[in-house]
């Protein structure tokens, strides 16, 4: 009887220690898994794991701010929501663009699908956010806060890098948010307010491109009063086109603006919208474009505006120019996979 | 059916009718009728009355002696008067029956130690330790600042010894224990098994402390008290937390428990044997300087535990222990350079701003139940020394009342030392950890308290269960709360890992954590904390405080800024403003976290881009 009791005690003790060991193991496994994954790098994260809404680690866009190679961008009809036009363009120029620009009105929802589509192709999305119906002063005064917060939350959740250019060509009188309607103070206040809201929500995965039109047509408008400050801007995006009214030198198009911007900031620049008017000079203009971007280390690249709007800026309009474009774009320094900067 | 009478016939009342055995049958045999008879009875009908059975038993017993009692020849002389005694052959009848009635014990159990009791108690102890282990193991979070600091320091020291890499100096000046002991040992374990391994070392220490507490309490009182003491100690918040917390505290508590065990264990041995405890005590003090607060308790305990065996000579024992400890401490101080650290972290620790009331409240929340039980135990013990029900116990009333009062005061009073000292310093830093040192000593008295409440023969077990379950609930919830007080640093570490460059400089609140996790890529010297800065500008002028931070950020001195808003919330806000204002920095990301108690916050990370 006594030996039976002893056996029973021993069995109970064994069972207990077994339970203990098991619970210990599970806890240990969990813990060590945590520290092991802490060591794993985020670099090269594919779209699927980076895009997971639960992603704890915010996407770090800093390596994309000034990459070694140039951005090779395009604004193509339907992209990035539909990749059809993009594929056609890529085939046409012989290289996959890595920056896709599209235009959205203030009040539109965030096109997460588009951004994901582009990302899958190795391209980042540049969204030009245009306040057609909402006064910039109202935005600055916080009247659109709910919208901004929702938008920013969506951007944060997607956790992929996005470039946002708010109210571009603000220095032009032709836009609704241009010099006729908006004061520099309101513009700066609105910009900062949007930026701060995004940061508050944790959407640090936005690259902020401050995008004036080149000063050539509006020489009287000084840019500095419109500048929100280095803490609020990542890129200076220049918008300018080669037209027959001016000579085709790179500096003639962008020089004056660049020089003026360089008086108040050293932020890297990008040609946020550019193209050359169809015509005899087009091939030379394209050559100048590539040469100008290559020559300047602070020039991150360009976005070719491949639309027929006011003029036909599409490359397919002039086969000779397209050929030249294709030849220059083949240079290895243009274009890279934004997923592995 | 049965042949039972149809009508009720009153029978004499038999109180033992339902018993399986009877008082009549005292030979220890079952009084049940033999099988055959039982069957017969069954056939005869279910006599409901045990009386018949008893009769059978009696008859059966009587029949045993049938051969010994001569019988009159039957038949021959029947119904005939006789006038003469006939002679019968004498036969020896035994004076005593062959059966014997065992002596009835005066108590149902024996209070002397027995193997069975020892093993049953140890079994219960193992269960308690299993509970303690499970409670500790269920806690999870990334390394706390202190854990990270000690482990990283340990790695640094080991690297220095093995690869002669530069030693980040100054550990001695602000560590609250010797940097050469625990940090090195823990880092060694950490190197092989990671943080969990280092924490497991603490768990073993705390389980060891519980085991030793049981052992020395059993020697001072008995198993019951010892088990309750261990049960109470095992489920308090500090014990649970320290069992999964890679800091000095767990090994220091273990070493103190070991010293107490040696002191109690050697109470009958020659006085010199107590010196065995001296090196252990000194080691405890070296591992964590604050352990010195409990050395006097151990010295007094050395005298008290030997009083019954040695009388006044017990003072010699205490004197020897004190002398031995002092001598070893003296030698230690002579050959090491820890005095500055002791002053900085322990004796002259920075005074805080916590009010006495808030400290008392915290102490009460975290250790109050156990302390109250210990006080009750000490009072009950002072009033009555008898510790068990057995009337045969040695020294029924236990030791004299003066001794009892003294023991109660020493053990319970020790629990007050840490809160009292922290109230003196007005700081709640590490209060919960220091409480556990005192609770280790108060535990035996808490055990007495609960046992007295439960009463003789376990009369009110529900009271004991009530107290223990309350302690368990408090311990479980408080330990979980405690482990949620710092943010999970996993995403932070992931986010800043790409920025760890050999020559870079970083500003970081609680930077010890990333330094620990990313120790292959960064080291302490690259980081500036939010606790203070000495920024040297271009002209070589040193700036401190906010001005120092402002100028450093303005000049783009830091390559990365990491703020969490937890330790220095006001300064963090100021720094954020400066970072934004400077324009040199770009936000890498914000990582929000939730703390226990509903608190939220976020890590904010900026990197220099221009």
Q: Say whether both B426 and B467 belong to one domain.
A: yes
Q: Residue B595 domain-assigned?
A: yes
Phi, psi (deg, nearest 5) at residue A182: -125, 135
Q: Which of residues 243-282 of A touch B (CB under 8 A)?
A: 266-267
Cβ contact B591–A57 (<8 Å): yes
Does B118 map to a domain?
A: no
Tens of pLDDT along B63-119? 555 555 555 555 555 566 666 666 667 777 777 777 888 887 766 666 677 888 889
Give me the domain span that covers residue B514.
490-608
Tell me what pLDDT residue B379 has: 95
- How high is the pLDDT of residue B369? 95
Domain harbouring B599, CATH code: 3.40.190
Residues of A labelled as active-site residues = 169, 273
Please tell me the predicted confidence (pLDDT) of residue B15: 55
Backbone angles phi, psi at B506, to 5 degrees: -130, 150
List the one residue out of B175, B337, B349 whose CA is nearest residue B247: B175
Which of B134, B199, B581 minimises the CB distance to A20?
B134
CA angle A66, A67, A73 (to 5 degrees): 95
Same structural domain for residues B434 and B524?
A: no
Nearest to B152 by CA among B513, B485, B516: B516
Average pLDDT for chain B? 84
Give the pLDDT of residue A49. Answer: 42
Same domain as B462, residue B542? no
Shortest distance, CA A321 to any CA of chain B (angstroms): 37
Residues B217-236, mean pLDDT to the nearest whole number: 94
Closest CA relative to residue A228, chosen from A185, A268, A197, A269: A185
How confident is the model over B116-149, as pLDDT tens digits?
888 999 999 999 999 999 999 999 999 999 999 9
Q: Are residues B529 and B463 in the same domain?
A: no
Q: Are residues B474 and B496 in the same domain?
A: no
The answer, yes or no, to whether residue B342 has pLDDT greater than 50, is: yes
Give residue B565's pLDDT.
85
Please tell me whether residues B325 and B408 are part of one structural domain: yes
Say if B113 falls within a structural domain: no
Burial A109-126 (b: 16+ CB within 10 A, else e): ebbbebbbbbbebbbbbb
Q: B312 and B449, same structural domain?
A: yes
Count CB-CB contacts under 10 A for residue B582: 20
Domain-embedded: residue B121: no
- pLDDT at residue B163 greater than cutoff 60: yes
Which residues in A lie closer than 8 A to residue B494 (C-beta atoms)?
37-38, 40-42, 56-57
| Chain A CB within 8 Å of residue B497 CB | yes
Q: Answer yes or no: is B149 within a domain.
A: yes
pTM given for the model: 0.78
The pLDDT of residue B117: 87
For B268, counting Cβ atoms within 10 Å of its Cβ (0-12 exposed, 13-18 middle, 19+ buried), the class is exposed
Residue B547 scores a pLDDT above 60: yes
Chain A residues lying within 8 Å of B583, measured CB to CB: 229-231
The whole-angstrom distance between B493's CA and the closest CA on chain A is 6
E strand segments, A240-294? 269-274
CB contact under 8 A, B495 and A42: yes
* B256, B291 contact by CB (below 8 A): yes
**Over the stretch B454-480, which tens digit does the pLDDT of each residue have?**
988 889 999 999 999 999 999 999 999
Label residue B384 by pLDDT band (50, 70, 90).
Answer: confident
Give me the number of domains chain B comprises.
3
Residue B48: per-residue pLDDT: 43
Q: How far is A306 from chain B (nearest CA, A)?
A: 32
Specify the pairing of strand A308-309 against strand A299-305.
unpaired
A58:B490 CB<8 A? no
Residues B405 and B317 in one domain: yes
Boundary-marking domain end, from B457, B483, B509: B483
Strand pairing class (A206-210; A162-166): parallel
| Confidence at B50, pLDDT banded by 50, 70, 90 | very low
The residue among B48 and A209 whose pLDDT is bigger is: A209
Tell me the domain boundaries of chain A. 47-329
Q: A296 near A268, Cβ under 8 Å?
A: no
Are B231 and B368 within one domain? yes
B103 domain residue, yes or no: no
**Do B451 and B499 sit in the same domain of this protein?**
no
Whether residue B54 lies inside any domain: the answer is yes
Residue A236, helix vs strand vs coil: strand
Of residues B153, B174, B169, the one with CA closest to residue B344: B174
Chain B residues 461-490 within an 8 A CB cutoff of chain A? 489-490
Per-residue pLDDT of chain A (341 residues; tens, 9 = 90+): 444 444 444 444 444 444 334 333 333 333 333 333 333 333 333 344 444 434 578 899 999 999 999 999 999 888 787 888 888 898 999 999 999 999 999 989 899 999 998 999 889 999 999 999 899 999 999 999 999 999 999 999 999 999 999 999 999 998 888 888 899 999 999 999 999 999 999 899 999 999 999 998 888 899 999 999 998 999 999 999 998 888 888 999 999 999 999 999 999 999 999 999 888 888 899 999 999 999 999 999 999 998 888 888 888 888 888 998 999 999 999 988 888 87
Question: Of the ranges A176-185, B186-195, B226-235, which one carries the lowest mean pLDDT score?
Answer: A176-185
**CA pseudo-torsion sign B428, B429, B431, B437:** negative
Backbone Cα Rg of chain B: 37
Say which of A19, A57, A66 has its CB closest to residue B491. A57
Lowest mean pLDDT among A63-72, B21-30, B495-504: B21-30
**Chain B contact for A10 (CB, 8 A cutoff):** no
Residue B143, pLDDT score: 93
Report the b/e string of A45-62 with b at 16+ CB within 10 A.
bebeebbeeebbbbbbbb
- As a whole number of angstroms, the distance between CA B166 and CA A335 comes to 44
Inspect the interface and report whether the beta carbons of B590 and A58 lie closer than 8 Å: yes
Q: Return the bridge partners of A73, or none.
A: A99, A303
Which of B483, B501, B527 is the last residue in one of the domains? Answer: B483
In a domain, B126, yes or no: no
pLDDT of residue A81: 77
Q: Are residues B268 and B308 in the same domain?
A: yes
CA A6 from chain centre, in angstroms, equals 73
Chain A residues touching residue B589 (CB < 8 angstroms): 57-60, 202, 204-205
> Closest approach of chain B CAs to the CA of A203, in angstroms?
8
**Closest-CA residue in chain B for A42?**
B494
Q: What is the pLDDT of residue A56?
A: 76
B241: CB partners within 8 A, 6+ apart: B136, B139, B432, B433, B479, B482, B483
Last residue of a domain, one of B448, B483, B518: B483
Whether the CB of A7 is below 8 Å from some CB of chain B: the reply is no
Same domain, B410 and B432: yes
CATH architecture of A47-329: Alpha-Beta Barrel (3.20)
C-alpha to C-alpha distance for B5 and B542, rounded to whole angstroms: 115
């Amino acid at each position: 009887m006594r030996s039976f009791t002893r056996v029973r005690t021993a069995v109970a003790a064994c069972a207990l220690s077994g339970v203990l060991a098991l619970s210990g193991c599970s806890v240990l496994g969990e813990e060590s898994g945590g520290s092991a994954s802490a060591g794993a790098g985020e670099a090269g994260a594919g779209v699927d794991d980076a895009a997971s809404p639960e992603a704890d680690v915010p996407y770090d866009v800093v390596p994309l701010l000034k990459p070694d190679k140039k951005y090779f961008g395009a604004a193509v009809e339907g992209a990035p929501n539909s990749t059809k036009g993009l594929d056609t363009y890529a085939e046409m120029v012989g290289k996959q663009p890595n920056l896709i620009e599209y235009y959205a009105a203030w009040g539109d929802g965030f096109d997460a699908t588009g951004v994901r589509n582009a990302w899958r192709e190795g391209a980042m999305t540049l969204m030009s956010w245009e306040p057609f119906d909402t006064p910039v002063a109202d935005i600055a005064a916080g009247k659109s806060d709910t919208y901004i917060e929702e938008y920013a939350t969506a951007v944060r959740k997607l956790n992929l890098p996005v470039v946002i250019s708010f109210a571009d060509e603000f220095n032009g009188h032709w836009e609704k948010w241009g010099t006729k309607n908006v004061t520099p103070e309101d513009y700066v206040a609105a910009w900062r307010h949007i930026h701060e809201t995004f940061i508050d929500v944790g959407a640090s995965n936005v690259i902020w491109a401050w995008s004036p039109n080149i000063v050539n047509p509006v020489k009287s408008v000084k840019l500095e009063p419109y500048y929100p400050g280095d803490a609020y801007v990542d890129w200076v995006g220049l918008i300018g086109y080669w037209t027959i009214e001016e000579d085709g030198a790179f500096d003639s198009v962008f020089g004056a603006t660049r020089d003026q911007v360089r008086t108040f900031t050293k932020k890297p620049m990008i040609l946020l919208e550019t193209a050359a008017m169809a015509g005899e000079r087009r091939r030379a203009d394209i050559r100048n474009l590539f040469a100008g971007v290559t020559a300047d280390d602070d020039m991150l690249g360009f976005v070719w505006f491949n639309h027929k709007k006011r003029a036909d800026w599409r490359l397919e309009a002039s086969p000779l120019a397209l050929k030249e474009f294709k030849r220059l774009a083949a240079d290895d320094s243009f274009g890279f996979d934004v997923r592995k900067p | 059916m049965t042949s039972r009478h149809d009508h009720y016939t009153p029978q004499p009342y038999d109180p033992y009718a339902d018993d399986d055995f009877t008082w009549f049958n005292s030979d220890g045999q079952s009084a049940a009728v033999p099988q055959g008879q039982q069957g017969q009875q069954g056939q005869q009908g279910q006599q409901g009355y045990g009386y018949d059975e008893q009769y059978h038993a009696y008859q059966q017993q009587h029949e045993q002696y049938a051969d010994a009692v001569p019988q009159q020849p039957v038949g021959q002389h029947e119904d005939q008067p006789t006038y003469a005694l006939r002679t019968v052959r004498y036969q020896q009848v035994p004076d005593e029956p062959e059966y014997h009635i065992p002596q009835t014990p005066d108590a149902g159990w024996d209070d002397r130690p027995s193997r069975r009791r020892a093993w049953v108690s140890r079994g219960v102890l193992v269960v308690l330790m299993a509970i303690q282990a499970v409670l500790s193991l269920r806690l999870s979070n990334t390394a706390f600042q202190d854990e990270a600091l000690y482990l990283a320091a340990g790695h640094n020291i080991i690297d220095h010894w093995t690869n002669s890499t530069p030693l980040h100096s100054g550990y001695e000046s602000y560590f609250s224990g010797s940097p050469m002991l625990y940090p090195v040992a823990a880092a060694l374990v950490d190197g092989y098994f990671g943080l969990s391994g280092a924490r497991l070392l603490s768990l073993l220490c705390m389980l060891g402390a519980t085991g030793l507490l049981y052992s020395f309490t059993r020697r001072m009182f008995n198993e019951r008290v010892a088990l309750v003491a261990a049960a109470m100690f095992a489920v308090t918040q500090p014990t649970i937390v320290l069992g999964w917390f890679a800091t000095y505290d767990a090994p220091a508590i273990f070493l103190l428990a070991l010293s107490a065990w040696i002191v109690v264990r050697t109470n009958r041995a020659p006085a010199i044997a107590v010196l065995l405890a001296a090196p252990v005590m000194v080691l405890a003090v070296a591992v964590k300087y604050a352990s010195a607060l409990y050395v006097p308790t151990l010295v007094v305990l050395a005298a008290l535990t030997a009083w019954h065996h040695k009388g006044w000579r017990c003072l010699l024992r205490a004197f020897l222990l004190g002398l031995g400890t002092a001598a070893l401490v003296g030698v230690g101080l002579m050959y090491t350079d820890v005095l500055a650290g002791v002053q900085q972290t322990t004796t002259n620790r920075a005074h805080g701003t916590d009010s006495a009331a808030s400290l008392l409240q915290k102490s009460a929340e975290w250790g109050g139940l156990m302390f109250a039980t210990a006080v009750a135990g000490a009072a009950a013990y002072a009033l009555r020394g008898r510790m068990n029900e057995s009337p045969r116990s040695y020294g029924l009333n236990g030791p004299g009342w003066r001794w009892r009062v003294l023991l109660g005061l020493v053990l319970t009073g020790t629990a007050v030392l840490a809160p009292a000292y922290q109230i003196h310093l007005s700081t709640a830093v590490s209060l919960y950890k220091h409480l556990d040192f005192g609770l280790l000593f108060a535990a035996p008295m808490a055990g007495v308290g609960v046992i007295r409440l439960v009463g003789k023969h376990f009369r009110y077990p529900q009271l004991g269960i009530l107290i223990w379950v309350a302690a368990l609930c408090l311990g479980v919830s408080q330990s979980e709360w405690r482990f949620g007080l710092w943010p999970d640093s996993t995403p932070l570490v992931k986010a800043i890992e790409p920025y760890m460059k050999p020559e870079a400089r970083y500003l970081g609140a609680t930077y010890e954590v990333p330094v620990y996790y990313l120790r292959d890529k960064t080291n302490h010297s690259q980081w500036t904390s939010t606790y203070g800065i000495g920024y040297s500008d271009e002209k070589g002028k040193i700036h401190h405080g906010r001005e120092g931070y402002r100028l450093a950020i303005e000049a783009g001195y830091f390559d990365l800024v990491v703020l969490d808003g937890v330790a220095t919330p006001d300064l963090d806000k100021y720094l954020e403003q400066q970072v934004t204002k400077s324009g040199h920095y770009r936000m890498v990301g914000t990582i929000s976290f939730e703390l226990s108690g509903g608190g939220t916050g976020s890590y904010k990370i900026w990197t220099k881009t221009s």
